[in-house]
Amino acid sequence: MIRIDLEKTKPDTKQTQILVLGLFEGEPELLLKRLENGLLSLVKEILENGEFTGTFGSSYLLPTFGKIGPNRIMLIGLGKKEVYSKEIVRIISGKISVKIQELGLDEFSLIPFSNLDKELAEAIYEGISLSTYRFSKYKSVATKLPELKDVTILVESDYHEIQEALDKSSLIVEAVIFSRDLCNLPPNDCPPSELAKVAMALTDDYELKVRVIERYEMESLGLNGIISVGMGSSNQSKLIIVEYHGAPESQKPYLFVGKAVTFDTGGISLKPGEKMDEMKFDKSGGCIVLAVIRAAAALHLPLNIIAMVPSVENMPSGSSYRPGDIIRMYNGKTVEVANTDAEGRIILADSLAFGIKTYDPKGVIDLATLTGAAIIALGANVAAAIGNNVSLMDKLKKVSEKTGEKLWELPLFEEFHDQIKSSVADIRNIGGRQGGAITAAAFLANFVADKPWIHLDIAGTAWTQDGTYERSYIPKGATGYGVRTLVRFLQEESHKN
């Protein structure tokens, strides 16, 4: 992990390989008034002759020839002040750390772009540390750049609270990276049993309890939805349950459920070949909820939390479930399988019903790469949020505005339930082409009883795909979308206790 420290040192005297200064476009005086002595005269000259104007993402390097503390100065363009936001900070900070690595340096110092508070410090940290992530586990020849090790933020006043926020932030960033590493694993190295192992290993480092429900136990419990979807694969299905107890038992837990289809071929309703390889990311929801509970434990949040990860591989074979099958689910409802590719909702449904019955949670959030329709509706940069509880939804929306992990609510009107009616069972697992992300949620609604519940369809946001915006801090592959938002949601919930 990259270390970030705060230090009360004058920028012109700081011994550092490179000092980074941000400039708002067309506002040189905002930067200049914060500088002194030799540093001021160096930068002033560059800005006054119009050499560097601060357009978004642009940069300018200048040597200092030993006249001041820093060896070099990097000016970075923050763009127009009116559109400045925490998201801009994450993107710019990410660009800076990538550039520093490209220069072959392992350390830099930075003057905060604007008034330093906890949120700005967190955004800087997230940008710096999430942008340098690369999934290189399978590269025989390392194409790695020199590792960035230390960043110093130069401050003018007391900073203990901010340093504390940064320390917490680093635990959250570690969780994001954990989820990326797990989710990027190829399907041959990450069957359900591997996810179970990774979950078990969490108990080495964190105060977590892990229970893995195997096929025989699923049979006796009646988790027939999970059993059915996994039948076609020679890799055994697992229902992974992680418990975190940070509060007295009397306090009801939050329940997170994450879809972990380690590979989704579609099953007998086989998917077309193009981009099928991307279906290794169909385990994203599960990876995210494991990361969330890991972060909650690392932060010692005073809450109780349950993470459930139904994990299966959806394969076509002689033992697969078929279109036409009718499954009696854990909660007794019957489901007509009209398409074996709509498998995520089936495994989530059993997990939701089982989790709610077993743990009586105060709120439930599920995450799943559930439908291509969510991408058609909202594109690849916004997750679909669908639920049954206004106050839970409002909380999530507010938190997501802060984290930059965009989500947008779709309506779960009564009418959508008509689309999943079946002539032979209680419901069908598909609802036709119209409103596909919503009918998937309508299906899930049959399994959450009356609990406050939100479903996040992360099909577009879980990995970088066609249509994903280029953002420095979201490199290629699994994004970790949702970890920061859900952890922050939990942090805010714990302040209430």
CB of 374: closest distance to Zn ion in angstroms? 12
Tell me whether residue 119 or residue 418 sits nearer to ligand BES (CB atom).
418
Tell me whether residue 31 or residue 268 sits nearer to ligand BES (CB atom).
268
Tell me whether residue 12 or residue 341 sits nearer to Zn ion (CB atom).
341
Residue 170 makes CB contacts below 8 A (sequence gap 6+) with 1, 4, 125, 129
Choices 178-186, 206-214, 260-268, 483-491 (CB under 5 A): range interacting with Zn ion: 260-268
Tell me whether residue 37 or residue 434 sits nearer to ligand BES (CB atom).
434
From the list 460, 191, 232, 452, the residue with the least C-alpha distance to 346 is: 232
Tell me whether residue 268 or residue 293 sits nearer to ligand BES (CB atom).
268
CB of 346: closest distance to ligand BES in angstroms? 10
Choices 302-310, 370-378, 401-409, 443-451 (CB under 6 A): range interacting with ligand BES: 370-378
Residue 232 touches which member of Zn ion, ligand BES, none, C-beta under 5-8 Å by kind: none
* Footprint of ligand BES on 380-439 (CB under 6 A): 430, 436
CB of 466: closest distance to Zn ion in angstroms? 18
**Position among 264, 366, 405, 457 found at the interface with Zn ion (CB under 5 A):** 264
CB of 427: closest distance to Zn ion in angstroms? 17
**Position among 12, 341, 350, 366 found at the interface with ligand BES (CB under 6 A):** 341
271, 333, 395, 402: the active-site residue: 271
> Does residue 385 contact residue 456 with C-beta atoms inside 8 Å?
yes
Binding of ligand BES at residue 365 (CB under 6 A)?
no
Strands across the sheet containing 427-428: 326-328, 334-336, 427-428
**Position among 261, 298, 438, 454 found at the interface with Zn ion (CB under 5 A):** 261
Tell me whether residue 18 or residue 373 sits nearer to ligand BES (CB atom).
373
Choices 66-74, 340-348, 377-385, 472-480 (CB under 6 A): range interacting with ligand BES: 340-348
Tell me whether residue 116 or residue 459 sits nearer to ligand BES (CB atom).
459
Binding of ligand BES at residue 343 (CB under 6 A)?
yes
**Position among 288, 309, 335, 342 found at the interface with ligand BES (CB under 6 A):** 342
> Does residue 402 contact residue 86 with C-beta atoms inside 8 Å?
yes
Binding of ligand BES at residue 372 (CB under 6 A)?
yes
Binding of ligand BES at residue 456 (CB under 6 A)?
no
**Position among 194, 282, 336, 350 found at the interface with Zn ion (CB under 5 A):** 282
Residue 405 touches which member of Zn ion, ligand BES, none, C-beta under 5-8 Å by kind: none
Cα 230 → chain centroid: 26
90, 238, 280, 345: the active-site residue: 345
> Does residue 113 contact residue 20 with C-beta atoms inside 8 Å?
no
CB of 359: closest distance to Zn ion in angstroms? 25
Torsion from C-alpha of 131, 469, 462, 443, nearest 10 degrees: 160
Give the binding-site size for ligand BES (rule: CB under 6 A).
Answer: 15
**Position among 371, 419, 461, 464 found at the interface with ligand BES (CB under 6 A):** 371
CB of 377: closest distance to ligand BES in angstroms? 11
State how beta strands 334-336 and 427-428 pair.
Answer: parallel
CB of 248: closest distance to ligand BES in angstroms? 39
Choices 93-101, 202-210, 212-220, 337-345 (CB under 6 A): range interacting with ligand BES: 337-345
* Residue 70: C-alpha distances to residues 30, 129, 339, 428 (Å): 21, 22, 63, 66
State how beta strands 260-264 and 383-387 pair.
Answer: unpaired
- Backbone φ, ψ for residue 122 (5° rounding): -65, -45
Annotate each residue in 311-350 with x if it binds Zn ion (CB under 5 A) or - if it does not, as one string: ------------------------------x-xx------
Residue 371 touches which member of ligand BES, Zn ion, none, C-beta under 5-8 Å by kind: ligand BES
345 is catalytic: yes
Structural tokens at position 171:
């635990």
CB of 380: closest distance to ligand BES in angstroms? 9
CA distance 309 to 288: 10
CB of 412: closest distance to ligand BES in angstroms? 17
Binding of ligand BES at residue 12 (CB under 6 A)?
no
From the list 218, 278, 211, the residue with the least C-alpha distance to 477 is: 278
CA distance 83 to 235: 50
Catalytic residues: 271, 345
Q: Which residues bind ligand BES (CB under 6 A)?
A: 264, 282, 339, 341-344, 369-373, 430, 436, 459
Q: Which residues bind Zn ion (CB under 5 A)?
A: 261, 264, 282, 341, 343-344
